[in-house]
Amino acid sequence: MNCDQAKALINAYIDKSLSADDVVAFESHCADCDDCKRELDALSRQKQLLASLPAVELDTELRKRLFDTAVKQVDADPVEAKTTSMPSVVYRFAAAAMISAIALFAAMPYISTPEGEDKYMVLVSDQVQTITVAIESEQAIDMVKMHVELSDNLELKGFGSKRQVNWDAGLKKGVNVISLPIIGIAQGEGDITTRVQINGNEKVMHIKTQYRQPGNVYYGPVEVMQG
Amino acid sequence: MSIIKLFKLRTTPADRFEQLVSPHIGLMYRLAYRLCQNEDDAEEVLQLLLIKLYPKLDELDQVDSLRPWLMRSLYNLYVDSYRKQQRTLAVISPDEIPDSIETGDRNPYQEIELDDQQRLIVDAMQQINEEQRIVIMLHDVEGYTLPEVSDILQTPVGTLKSRLHRGRTTLRELADKELADKDQADKELFADQYRDTSNEESLL
């Protein structure tokens, strides 16, 4: 076995997928070849190192939150939930009714309460809270008008005192996402309105917010309405 | 009516959904994390998947091997939504992109303690081709077999092998380079400190 042949087998050797004959030939070559032995040692160490990388574990609280959110979101608007597309599902719709093929939803922190409130969002005055608004479209759309409006007690990081951001966008088929880095700047209830407009028709989503004093935990309800 | 049937009737759809998915959700979260490379996005993708799956509870009930099916669905959703989202975010007009919009370039493991060698390999992982990185993540880091990876990514084993081997080699070269750069930086730092000390002594 020469070096080229040996190097072609290194990965299979590391993965223990070589035949017994090839293992003997490979090991015999490496015993006499410092270059191939070095390569083998380096790749073996690398594989061990990769296997030693720590994994994240799903804690009980997050596990519960994931299930609760799914159930609450779907129960709150089952029609909307049904429009979320799985790979095998094919949708058909008329181009004129394009707006109806768009769904808006938000992924945000929430806490459920014994009283059965739907959703909650927490804002901390001096911290950025990223709100993700997903726009799901059943087809690619060249141009929609996007608007994000904030109440006076909220700020979009990077936009200073600007309360409204408008822009034109193309939507891909599937889920399109906007991440809104929101900061609460004053107490009271707030509102984030996202509008997607096509030819004068629009989909609107309101996300209610409550300001939270640092150190003084307060959770306020969030109401999500579909336009 | 049998007790079991009665029990089933009394079980709410939410309970059934949780019973079906719960045994696999820990692994799904780990997969989401390996794909997205940060906990926030992993949570988001997994949440989105659960929202999509819950209304399809009856279909879910009929799936024979649920775990690989769920893993595949998660990967598909990652490709369809999260990965596209990295590009789709650019739909915000360029001069209006807030500074803190996440672009997916965050380094994973930021909050996890790693030793120097692990840090080196994690940094190098960020620089390799995404297709190769995902196979390395699933096979070498998470320990999935190639047929399992093939099932999740819906890619032939031969293609995966090739990605794995090329990825490992690139990773090794990058890690070597990072190590060499680090050594050089350490040497320069030492030389600077030595010069500073020499200067201070000459001033005295």
> Are B7 and B82 part of one and the same domain?
yes
> Are B92 and B143 part of one and the same domain?
no
Q: Which residue, B91, B106, B121, sits at the end of a domain?
A: B106
> Are A24 and A120 part of one and the same domain?
no
Mean pLDDT along residues A198-219: 65
Q: Classify strands A123-124 and A164-171 as parallel, antiparallel or unpaired.
A: unpaired
> Are A37 and A84 part of one and the same domain?
no
CATH of the domain at B173: 1.10.10.10
For B114, other C-beta atoms within 10 Å of its C-beta total 16
Looking at the predicted structure, is the pLDDT value of residue B129 above 90? no
B22 touches chain A (CB under 8 A): yes
Q: How far is CA B178 from CA A48, A139, B169, in A?
A: 18, 44, 14
A224/A222 Cα distance (integer angstroms): 6
Three-state DSSP state, B89: helix
> Are B92 and B121 part of one and the same domain?
no
> Are B71 and B169 part of one and the same domain?
no
pLDDT of residue B43: 87
H or E stretch at A190: strand A189-198
Provide the angle, in degrees to the nearest 10, between the axes of the packed helices B157-203 and B146-153: 100
How many H-runs (helices) and E-runs (strands) does chain B carry?
A: 10, 0
Domain that holds residue A34: 3-51
Best residue in A14, A47, A175, A224 for a mutation probing chain B (most B CBs within 10 Å): A175
> Are B3 and B70 part of one and the same domain?
yes
Conformational region of residue B109, where left means phi above 0, alpha means psi within -120 to 50, and beta covers everything else: left
The domain tally of chain A equals 2
> Are B86 and B24 part of one and the same domain?
yes
> Are B124 and B96 part of one and the same domain?
no
Among candidate residues B203, B171, A28, B89, the one with its CA nearest the CA of residue A13: A28
Q: Report the gap between the CA of B146 and the closest CA in chain A (Å).
A: 10
Cβ within 8 Å, pair B22-A67: yes
The overall pTM is greater than 0.80: no
B195 confidence band (pLDDT: 50, 70, 90):
low
B191/B174 Cα distance (integer angstroms): 25
Looking at the predicted structure, is the pLDDT value of residue A56 above 50? yes
> Are B70 and B121 part of one and the same domain?
no
Cβ within 8 Å, pair A81-B172: no
Domain that holds residue B167: 113-204
> Are A124 and A202 part of one and the same domain?
yes
> Which class for A140: exposed (0-12), middle (13-18), buried (19 or more C-beta within 10 A)?
exposed
The domain tally of chain B equals 2
> Are B119 and B189 part of one and the same domain?
yes
> Are B160 and B194 part of one and the same domain?
yes
Three-state DSSP state, A162: coil
B103/B36 Cα distance (integer angstroms): 11
Cβ within 8 Å, pair A74-B51: yes
Q: Max Cα separation, chain B?
A: 98
| Average pLDDT value over all residues in chain B | 76
> Are B3 and B101 part of one and the same domain?
yes
> Are A28 and A73 part of one and the same domain?
no
Phi, psi of A55 (to 5 degrees): -105, 155
pLDDT in tens, A103-160: 555 544 433 333 333 343 555 455 667 676 767 777 777 778 888 888 888 888 767 7
Percent of chain B with pLDDT over 70: 67
B184/B192 Cα distance (integer angstroms): 12
Q: Which residue, B38, B73, B106, sits at the end of a domain?
A: B106
pLDDT in tens, B46-70: 988 998 898 888 888 888 888 889 9
> Are A78 and A28 part of one and the same domain?
no
CATH of the domain at A170: 2.60.40.10
Among candidate residues A56, B120, B46, B146, the one with its CA nearest the CA of residue B136: B146
> Are A43 and A77 part of one and the same domain?
no
Return all residues near A173 (Cβ < 8 A) that are at least 6 apart.
A137, A138, A139, A140
> Are A133 and A72 part of one and the same domain?
yes
> Are B2 and B54 part of one and the same domain?
yes
A121/A206 Cα distance (integer angstroms): 13
Cβ contacts (< 8 Å) between A159 and chain B: which residues? 96, 98
Q: Classify strands A225-226 and A164-171 as parallel, antiparallel or unpaired.
A: unpaired
B43 touches chain A (CB under 8 A): yes
Q: Which residue, B57, B79, B106, sits at the end of a domain?
A: B106
* Residue A174 β-bridge partners: A137
pLDDT of residue A101: 55
Residue B5 token pair: 């049937």
> Are A109 and A65 part of one and the same domain?
yes
Three-state DSSP state, A62: helix
> Are A193 and A106 part of one and the same domain?
yes
Among candidate residues A134, A147, A129, the one with its CA nearest the CA of residue A195: A147
Tell me the residue type at B42: A
CATH of the domain at B86: 1.10.1740
Residue B151 token pair: 């099932």
Looking at the predicted structure, is the pLDDT value of residue A97 above 60? no
A109/A121 Cα distance (integer angstroms): 5
> Are A45 and A150 part of one and the same domain?
no
Conformational region of residue A128, where left means phi above 0, alpha means psi within -120 to 50, and beta covers everything else: beta
B136 touches chain A (CB under 8 A): yes
> Are A73 and A161 part of one and the same domain?
yes
